[in-house]
Structure 1
């Protein structure tokens, strides 16, 4: 049974990942979306403050989104998100890193403007294989309430 708003109580958390980050994926993403030298070339990455071939922050965010989708969103009655409140790239994600993380519900409430929909605020933390925090995010996600989800699967 898919998760509904009532399942997202404050304090509940969901494991994310793991996801391995490859040089090929870093270069492919950067070529299309963020073609800066440190994301395209190992030597340029080493010469930068990032210390090696580094994923774009936007690539890191996309990997986090994939982890969140497989971690709990695809098994829920998610209705999307109104935006991102906080998105911080704390440390570089380098080729060869393995990412994992956790999404934790901070608060939740029914939406007055959208009957049958609740909204939950999350904090999301993504770490590399050494346990370093590489990405931190906070946002609200909307979910169908139990009665609504049962009539509109």
Structure 2
């Protein structure tokens, strides 16, 4: 009988990352009108450019625009599985955000993350601050969003130690 092995899906630990690594986030995500209306109303954004077809038709792009915050959120979401799933301590910030071209209903967003900086946390041993340059493109290859994402991330040894301590404290005896 073979031993059962369980493998948990996760992103990368900070000690598995290197400056210059590039992650392509596939599959992409097609943004629908329903996505846009739901996100826009959930976030209390009454901007007519996102909700009112007649109003948007009279504006320069001639049709409703996908909420730029939905575009940004989707870009970050596309990256999580490959980069920070289960290895993130905290998202420290998003900066240098730009939306060079609009996104319309039916456009598909594809993501790319490049590791641009890694440094040890001065206050949290076993954790590192990692910066990603993120880019989102539509199905035509047009860049529609750029952002810098800075994260506090675990190293593998520190995370294993923290999980073991938490399991011991909980009395489960489970090991990482």
Report the TM-score, using the length of structure 2 for normalisation.
0.79
Pairwise mapping of residues 3-152 of structure 1 onto structure 2 (< 5 A)? 3-17=12-26, 18-33=28-43, 34-74=45-85, 76-152=86-162
**Cα distance in 1, alignment partners of residues 122 and 61 from structure 2:** 45
Which structure carries more relative contact order (alpha carbon 8 Å, separation 6+)? 1
Task: For residue 143 of structure 1, report the CA deviation from its aligned partner.
Answer: 0.9
- The total of aligned residue pairs comes to 152
Gaps of at least 5 residues in structure 2 are 1-7, 164-176
Q: Alignment partner of 2:136: what SS?
A: strand
| Aligned residues: CA RMSD | 1.6
Q: Which range moved further: 27-36 or 42-51?
A: 42-51
CA distance in 1, matches of 2:138, 2:82: 17
Q: How big is the shift at 1:146?
A: 2.4
Mapped to 2, the partners of 1:43 and 1:130 lie a distance apart of 26
Greater C-alpha radius of gyration: 2
Shift of 1:127: 0.4
1:1-22 C-alpha deviation (Å, 9 max, x unpaired): 7421111110112122400010
- Which of structure 1's runs of 4+ aligned residues deviate more than 4 A? none
TM-score, length-scaled by structure 1: 0.90
Q: For 2:139 and 2:117, locate their aligned partners in 1 and report how far apart those are by CA, in whole Å.
A: 29
